[in-house]
Amino acid sequence: MSADKMGENLSGHEAERVEILLDNQPVMIAPGTTILQYLQQKGQIDPGLQNPVVIMSINGRKTSLHEAVHGDERVRLIRLMDAEANTTIQRTVLFVMAVAAEDLFPDHRLRVNFSYGGGVYCELANNEPLSTQQIRDLEDRMHELVSMDLPLTPQRFGLRALLKMLQRDGKHQRFESAKYLRRDTVTLYRMNSFEQLYFGRQLPSTGYVRAFRLVPEAPGFVLMTNVKKDPEMIPTYVPQSKLLTTMRAYSTWSSQQGVQDAGHMNEYIVNGQTSDLVQISEARHSRFFVDAADQVGAMPEEGRLILLAGPSSSGKTSSAKRLAIQLRVLGMRPFALSLDNYFVDRADTPLDEDGDYDYESIDALKVDLFNEHLKALMDGQPVNLPTYNFHTGTGSISTTPTVLEQGMPLLVEGIHALNPQLTPAISDAQKLRIYVSALCHMNIDNFSYIKTTDTRLFRRIVRDAKFRGYTASETLARWPKVRLGEEKHIFPFQNHADLFFNSGLTYELAVLKLWAEPRLAAVDPDDKNYGLARTLIDLLSLLLPMDASQVPPTSLLREFIGGSGFQY
């Protein structure tokens, strides 16, 4: 059957056809036809295929195959082995797990907490430990659901009707997460009789899931899904006990404050309680810097080297300034040594795989000179420090020597600060290593959440627009390379840290949306970053806006939105 005739039969309106571009090829199709229907007629919807189509992009916006076309759309098919399909695969595995947990633990609520260890950390909402056998039973039930190849069908509800249904069925958390949505309609996915208010697209059916496993990590487990571009390979689980402890502590703390998810955060805003929440959140930060300063004070006076690292937009600069203030309260006068001044000349800078200068490589730094200066400074010897001119790409040496008094803390902040290759000349006994990152995930409901990496991206979008003149599209275009650099140069060394500082603030997304939302909305539909921009707008729509005037000038958040009491 021809594509033209197929489109006519699917719609029942034989005379009415419109043209779309399907993978850059013109196709005539009946308006209102879904791409799923079109591909089913062509025999291209089958989880048994080696690399089947699983989702698509319409005019740059990723969506499920259930969406209908009406003419003039640019449709790009995305297959199971494409990197772009990975988040959808993970989301479907989470859906399968939600159904399996409902079957096995009807009297307990399983909660997906946060990304961790290359997977997702999960536990029972009441913190009751899961036994190894329970975890094994859950995994077995998930495999059964996958083998049944159950369809995942989206249903569109009017918001009012959906809220009534959730209230009637006693699904209070989902009701709270949805009731302040500013949308006329909401999509809910169904698997058999199980319905889940998932904020994102799903695979066509469970049979497309090919690999996952549950790794026990008391009191819960880590759900591991496949690696990008290989739906049948599961990455190696690498436990990071310090990171897990920090993130679980935040989950417990946020529940204690009554802001365990987006719905409760919105209640704070509606009820005018955000002032208290801001003060409590900022006090949590202050307590960390007080404790960290005490630890520096307890170090031997012969050498106090503070190494502070973290990924992009984690708030490293503000963290260093806040820590310096607490050190001065204790009578110490910290000295900040900038790694930026130790760059090799631009002509000697290593290149990345695209042939661009790789300023994030440790080989872009004069490591030997840096260690020579570190040791001399900590021994109280005079050092003529370098400066680096980013305009000319060359360095020079100061004519004025710098001398540190005994016991004066030396503070070094940068992406390589936790890499042992950076400071081999200094003994570990003279170092305090601090890892900084925004580790405040935001749960939407028990099985969906806003990732900490998204929070950092929102921070960067706002800061880039306000202080660097970049559009949201330019920031989004740079983000994949930023993330790649983090994976290579920062995350492998985070467990070397002595202290983990969670620089996230419970309320910050409600503030950041005031700046991020209009900038994301300005991304043109023809822009290649349009789809990601719309996804981020959808995430922000889950939260009500919050008055930014409540954010104090000492807040780390001011580094991104402006109005800080610190000089940057």
Task: Give the pLDDT confidence of 322-379 residue by residue, as tens digits.
Answer: 999 999 999 999 999 989 899 999 999 999 888 888 888 999 999 999 999 999 999 9
pLDDT tops 50 at residue 428 = yes
Peptide bond into 492 cis (omega under 30): no
- Among candidates 55, 108, 52, 111, which has minimal Cα distance to 84? 55
| Res. 17 pLDDT band, cuts 50 70 90 | confident
pLDDT of residue 9: 47
62-77: b or e for each residue (b if 16 or more CB lie within 10 Å)? bbbbbbbbeeebebbb
pLDDT of residue 176: 78
Residues 216 and 135 sit within 8 Å (Cβ to Cβ): yes
Residues 461 and 520 sit within 8 Å (Cβ to Cβ): yes
Share of the chain above pLDDT 90, in %: 74
pLDDT of residue 4: 45
pTM here is 0.89
d(CA 508, CA 495): 26
pLDDT of residue 380: 93
pLDDT of residue 196: 75
| Res. 156 pLDDT band, cuts 50 70 90 | confident
d(CA 149, CA 265): 37
| Res. 198 pLDDT band, cuts 50 70 90 | low
- Sign of the dihedral defined by the CA atoms of residues 102, 103, 106, 110, in that order: negative
pLDDT of residue 561: 97
d(CA 110, CA 106): 9
Q: How many residues comprise the chain?
A: 568
Q: Strands 305-309, 431-437: parallel, antiparallel or unpaired by DSSP?
A: parallel
d(CA 235, CA 336): 39
Q: What is the pLDDT of residues 532-560, one digit of tens each?
A: 999 999 899 999 999 999 999 999 999 99
d(CA 12, CA 491): 55
For the chain, the average pLDDT equals 91
pLDDT of residue 107: 80
Burial (0-12, 13-18, 19+ Cβ within 10 Å), 566? middle
Domains and CATH numbers, the chain: 3-79 (3.10.20.30), 86-237 (3.30.980.10), 242-560 (3.40.50.300)
pLDDT of residue 60: 84
Torsion from C-alpha of 167, 168, 174, 177, nearest 10 degrees: -20
Q: What is the pLDDT of residues 371-411, one digit of tens each?
A: 999 999 999 999 999 999 988 999 999 999 999 998 899 99
d(CA 566, CA 561): 13
| Res. 187 pLDDT band, cuts 50 70 90 | confident
- Cβ neighbours of 94 (radius 10 Å): 22
Burial (0-12, 13-18, 19+ Cβ within 10 Å), 506? buried
pLDDT of residue 16: 84
pLDDT of residue 199: 63
